[in-house]
Amino acid sequence: MPKPFISVHDLCMDFGNTRVLNGVSFEIQEGEIIGVIGRSGAGKSVLMHLLRGVEQPPTQGSIVYHMVGCDRCTFMDVQSRAGGRCPECGGKLVAVDVDLWDEKNDGMKSRVMNRTAIMFQRTFALYGNDRVIENVLHALDDIRYPQERAVSRAADLIEQVKLSHRMMHIARDLSGGEKQRVVLARQLAKNPAMLFADEPTGTLDPETARQVHRMLTQAVQQNGMGMIVTSHFSQVIEDLANRAMLLVDGDIVAIGSPKKIIDSFAEDYHEIESSVPVKHGEKILTARDVEKRYISVDRGVIRAVNGVSFEVSRGEIFGIIGKSGAGKTTLSRIIAGIIEPTGGELNMKVGEEWIDMTKPGIEFRGRAKSYIGLLHQEYDLYPHRTVIDNLTDAIGLEFPKELAVRKAVVTLKMAGFTEDKSREILDRLPGHLSEGEKHRVALAQVMIREPRLVILDEPTGTMDPITKQDVKHSILHARDEMDETFVVVSHDMDFVRDICDRLALMRGGRIIEVGPTLDILGEMTDDEKSE
């Protein structure tokens, strides 16, 4: 019978006269996810630190890692690989038991620790002003990963945590859940045999937390590693663990199935968890009394936009409709940051911060504008440039060829192409595409910049019905695949009926009504519908 991955025996930890861990014993199998639940102060973090081999040694007891070590280099792996060959130097992998806190094993201890990684509740492990891919490249550089393969490996890791559509974002501008997924990608870069997750989603809303939990579970399965996760929230343990233990004042009082342990925890301590309903998209754009006035020699003051208020949620497709001259285009350009409003408030959520778009400058409208994409009705692909050149030129960054192809294919797929079709059209000129394909490439040209919000100005124009269906499907596909948010300005009532979640009806520069699509369409006059 194979040995467990980690054996913990009679582990005690005293701080002064206070015993924090009291004779803790358990085993962890290879590839197992074990959850440690308990109230704050139960000893969870102390146990985690001792298992990682950091801070001061335990008062008594042992933590033994059962692994294999290469007989030529410092590489170590799980013991089921005994007798195999080292992936780094080709040496033989020999079984070895390492007592982590035995002073005689200091050299082996560092080798074991090199095969572990940790995720904290907070995300300070990111380079805030660097892009997502740069953060992952830093982690690869830390482990001296071969530079010639680093970009491809970083892209693999970002794809694994499902953040390919945020690859070029500045880390500080990500949401809390996205930041945690970048932290996870950075830890996976180390190719750990064991991942420690210490309250990894304690500050996230329930739905975002579940997304991160799914990423963690998939990472364990795909990378063949084990994981220990601590939490004082039962949902975390329920979502993640194969087996759980309840820690009370330094003692393991129960160990078994997650459900059994959670029931015991709730029964003994009447756990009160958040009753906040699951969020399916927080507000990301708010407008209050926004105005835009122009001075005309013959007409005096023109109120193109006259005190409009509305909100847009993440993942929503929000339509702006009304007759010509109602103020739709002016409002869309205010939202895009192209036109400065004369008055009112306009705020966009970037990452976890609200940005005031009424103020100029790189920390205000300039910062928000970089996360807004605008696709005009008269979109323009460079006719003598291939599809891949049209896409990568749109980013304005130098890409290694391999990453450029990968990024282009990922984005075309998100715009509604199949992977085979995406690769097939990369070297085509726009003139060799159908109108529907051109529109999808134009949408991909906007999406490859990784916007938070995409504004579509009359997206269907004079398109035939079949092309309109292509456009509709590409927008819905991009929303589903990229968690993208859209503002659609359109005269096409059939199109907005099919695609928009809510509508804002404009008349004379004002928003008359905001609400569900079918309700607002019912409020329109006959001449508004027929325009």
The pLDDT of residue 100: 93
Cα-Cα-Cα-Cα dihedral of 235, 237, 242, 245, to 10°?
Answer: -140
Helix (H, G, I), strand (E, B) or coil at 486: strand
The pTM score is 0.73
The DSSP bridge partners found for residue 489 are 320, 457
Q: Does residue 343 sit within a domain?
A: yes
The pLDDT of residue 529: 62
State which of 191, 212, 234 marks the end of a domain: 191
Write the DSSP assignment of 418-430 as a string of letters. Answer: -HHHHHHHTT--G
Q: Does residue 196 sit within a domain?
A: no
Q: Does residue 287 sit within a domain?
A: yes
Residue 366 Cα distances to 85, 170, 338, angstroms: 53, 14, 10
The pLDDT of residue 123: 55
Low-confidence spans in the chain with pLDDT less than 70: 1-2, 121-125, 202-203, 205, 267-280, 296-299, 396-399, 461-464, 526-531
- Asked if 307 and 164 sit in the same domain, the reply is no
Residue 162: domain span? 118-191
- Residue 3 DSSP label: P
Q: Does residue 144 sit within a domain?
A: yes
The amino acid present at 23, given as its one-letter code, is G
The pLDDT of residue 275: 32
Give me the number of domains the chain comprises.
2
How far apart are alpha carbons 440 and 227 in whole angstroms?
41
The answer to whether 101 and 62 have CB atoms below 8 angstroms apart is yes
Q: Does residue 413 sit within a domain?
A: no
- Asked if 179 and 320 sit in the same domain, the reply is no
Tally of CB atoms within 10 A around 337: 22
Q: Which letter, b or e, does each residue of 43-53 get, where b requires 16 or more Cβ atoms within 10 Å of its Cβ?
A: bbbbbbbbbbb
CATH number at residue 285: 3.40.50.300
Token representation of residue 315:
């993942």
Nearest to 446 by CA among 419, 423, 474, 421: 474
Q: Does residue 432 sit within a domain?
A: no
Q: Does residue 512 sit within a domain?
A: yes
- Tokens 């997924």 map to which residue? 181
- Asked if 362 and 499 sit in the same domain, the reply is yes
Q: Does residue 269 sit within a domain?
A: no
The pLDDT of residue 274: 34
State which of 143, 166, 191 marks the end of a domain: 191
State which of 156, 191, 226 marks the end of a domain: 191
The pLDDT of residue 464: 65
